[in-house]
Chains A and B, each alone.
Chain A
Amino acid sequence: MTAPAHHHAQAPHAYVSPIPVRAAHLGDALASEWTKIRSVRSTMWTLGVMILLMFAIGLGVAALASASEAPLGEESALGFGFFGMLPASICVITLGVLTIASEYGTGMIRTTLTACPSRARVLTAKAIVFFLLVFTLTTVVTALVAAAQVAMVDAAEPTGAEWLRATVGAAAYLATLGLLSMAVGTLIRHSAGAITVMIGLLLLPLVAAMFMFSQSLKSVQEFLFTYAIPSQMISLYSETPPFGESGPAGWEPLLIMAAIAAAALGGAYALLNSRDV
């Protein structure tokens, strides 16, 4: 020791905290992310608006359909759930991006990664908390809306598999889309930029396909119509491919979305680990 002003007795490294030291684990990170996600207003706003839209649109469409005399054929009323899912997905995208990008925007990410140097643990905790929150909430909402739609509209009685896809399947699809948004938010590190990218990804393929009149672009148009995210949401409600003979149907759209989200999250893990914060 060089500073003569300090004649305290302690040797270097003498300070020992009275608070018991224990190694932090993923459970701690989950608790932390839960505290974070419930203590900001943007969560309440995006999820509140999502619930509101799903109820308003789902019930509104069902009311219109029940008032109409046109027969529904062999279709069940569960397919009406799609109309609430599209606006809900915009809310989920926003929340998914904000979950991580707001940390970059505010600089909070540096505080977070100082408190937990394991960046993978932070991202994993964020992904789990976000997924479970969105999945649970949308499962409940889609179930309530679907029950109301089936009760209101005079149509074929849905099977158990259809019920499962329209509730758990739709909720899982939305939550996985949210995970993709979170991964994009991690890659882009900017809220507005990442939300723009995700909304573009959601809507532009379909809009572009609508204007592909040229015969030479026919195959591209068909591909976009089949695999655009809204089209896949519709496929989720259908046993057979709704657009032509090929294409995803049933649970397949969810698997496609899960694969894309997993790839994006893999990139997010790699970049988060290697990049300077």
Chain B
Amino acid sequence: MIEAVGLTKRYGAKTAVYNLSFQVRPGVVTGFLGPNGSGKSTTMRMILGLDRPTAGHVTIGGHPFRRLPNAPRQVGALLDAKAVHGGRSARSHLLSLAQLAGIPAQRVDEVLGVVGLQDVAKRRSKGFSLGMGQRLGIAAALLGDPQVLLFDEPVNGLDPEGILWVRNLMKKLAAEGRTVFVSSHLMSEMALTADHLIVIGRGQLLADMPVKDFISANSADFARVRTPGAEPAQREKLTSVLVEAGGQVLSEPDGALRVTGLPLPRISDLAHDADVRLWELSPHQASLEEAYMRLTQGAVDYRSTDDRLAHLQPPAQPGQPGYGTPPQPPVQDVPQQGWYAPPPPGQSPYGAAPQAPGQNPYGAAPQAPAQNPYAGAPQAPAPGPYAPPAAPQPGLPQPSDDTSKDVR
């Protein structure tokens, strides 16, 4: 059990972690999510007593790490896969750690086998790939066979086979009754690995809830229904029928309807009974990645801008269209990409958001972002017509208030 209370860390004027309170319980994999620079690693270092909190405290099993009896037998950690002396062989590295913690030397060969590095144990770790380095770091964490395990970005640099291995390892360790705390910036990975999520952004807690709750709160299914564009009456008619049948209907910018609360066959039946023709009836699911990005988008520290190579562009020379500035397409062209198709899988719908804020149904822009700088929206029952159907998301922005209660 890891318990943080009001954890705060400031480096000069920069606040890396602010007033973070959470519990990490044994028996489940707890994912620790946040964008780059959100304070995940700082928090992990504070848990391990490497950094001293400016305010608040964090304990493991009731003790601060540095006062924990037999600490290396109770806590194992992978902080940074590159945190080894490259000139030392994998085996010597682990042996020195085992000796330091009073662990029998034979355990070194056991963990080398567990992470699959037994064949390169004698090689200097300088020549290791990132994936091998991660395995060595995981081996070091497992050395003391500890009750509490912390992993900072354990799948970085691993191949798909390695990712699967780490995923199963985490689950197995948790199933043995251990406390497993895994940080990542990949929601998709955590959705598969973790049972519980702690999400932070800019050093503050954004969410603390079981993954199942996060999924049900954020990845609500909806159906997109489109009626013939030239006949608005049909659209009105269908809307009223669907609402009567208990569905929630929202209008999308291009005239399609977003329907929640009714299964697809039922929508089709209702439309048929109402004598409304459908041009489209398609199932959609907001992805977890999307929900996560919506939650953290206000808290992203490092945002890229377009690389315009501005200083290399020759100044515009009127009258010489050939070699001057490339002809600028009219800005209005851009949003003309069809909204009929759902966004291609894997392509972030946010990529398009800045171009047409008002038109992108996924963009968080219409959701009164001013109310909460971190969460995109879900706080107020969104007034905008395009709010995602999952608007009544319990406790996303105030996790410590309601969602944590049922957990504790």
Contacts and interface: CB of A to CB of B under 8 A. Distances in A.
Contacts of A15: 26, 147, 176-178
B89 interface: yes
B129 interface: no
Interface stretch (A35-43, A60-68, A238-246): A35-43
A108 B79 contact: no
Contacts of B93: 39
Interface in B51-98: 51-52, 61, 65-73, 75-77, 79-80, 82-89, 92-93, 95-97
B102 A39 contact: no
Given A108-B85, A110-B50, A111-B140, A14 B92 contact: no
Interface in A1-51: 1-6, 8, 10-19, 21-25, 28-29, 31-33, 35-36, 39-42
Contacts of B212: 3-4
B26 A115 contact: no
B96 A35 contact: yes
A10 B177 contact: yes
Interface in A96-140: 102-103, 106-108, 110-118, 122
Nearest to A17: B145
B223 interface: no
A24 to B, nearest CB: 4
Contact of A115 (B25, B100, B147, B407): B100
Interface residues of B, number: 63
A70 interface: no
A107 B73 contact: no
A40 B147 contact: no
Secondary structure of the B side of the interface?
loop
A250 to B, nearest CB: 40
Contacts of A117: 49, 65-68, 71
A114 B143 CA distance: 12
A11 B147 CA distance: 13
Contacts of A40: 85, 87-88
B83 A110 contact: yes
Interface in B25-50: 25-28, 45, 48-50
Given A36-B88, A106-B86, A111-B84, A13 B147 contact: yes
Nearest to A12: B26
B175 interface: yes
Contacts of B84: 106-108, 111
Contacts of B51: 276-277
Contact of B25 (A1, A25, A33): A1
B210 interface: yes
Contacts of A118: 66
A111 B76 CA distance: 10
B70 A8 contact: no
A276 B45 contact: yes
Contacts of B100: 24, 28-29, 31-32, 112, 115-116, 122
B52 to A, nearest CB: 6
B183 to A, nearest CB: 15
B406 interface: yes
A12 to B, nearest CB: 4
A122 B101 CA distance: 11
Interface in B147-194: 147, 174-178
A24 B68 CA distance: 12
B343 interface: no
B42 to A, nearest CB: 9
B216 interface: no
A40 B407 CA distance: 49
B290 interface: no
Q: Which of A4, A40, A117 has the most CB of B within 10 A?
A: A117
A103 to B, nearest CB: 7
Contacts of B143: 115
A63 B143 CA distance: 55
Contacts of A31: 99-100
Nearest to A1: B27
Contacts of B75: 114
Contacts of A39: 88-89, 92-93, 96
Nearest to B141: A114
B107 interface: yes
Contacts of B85: 36, 40, 102-103, 106, 108
A10 B16 CA distance: 36
B27 A10 contact: yes
B87 A42 contact: yes
Contacts of A106: 82-86
Q: Which of A25, A110, A114 has the most CB of B within 10 A?
A: A114
A75 B93 CA distance: 50
Nearest to B102: A24
A118 B75 CA distance: 14
B26 A13 contact: yes
A12 B147 CA distance: 10
Given A39-B88, A110-B83, A117-B68, A6 B50 contact: no
Closest 8 CB pairs of A and B: A107-B83, A14-B177, A24-B102, A39-B92, A10-B177, A32-B100, A17-B145, A3-B195
Interface of B: 1, 25-28, 45, 48-52, 61, 65-73, 75-77, 79-80, 82-89, 92-93, 95-97, 99-104, 107, 140, 143-147, 174-178, 195-196, 210, 212, 406-407
Given A22-B102, A112-B100, 13 more contacts: A2-B28, A3-B27, A13-B177, A14-B176, A15-B178, A19-B145, A40-B88, A113-B49, A114-B48, A115-B140, A116-B71, A116-B101, A117-B67
23 contacts: A1-B27, A2-B406, A6-B27, A8-B177, A14-B26, A14-B27, A21-B73, A24-B100, A28-B99, A29-B99, A39-B88, A41-B87, A102-B85, A106-B86, A107-B79, A107-B80, A107-B84, A110-B45, A111-B84, A114-B75, A115-B140, A115-B144, A118-B66
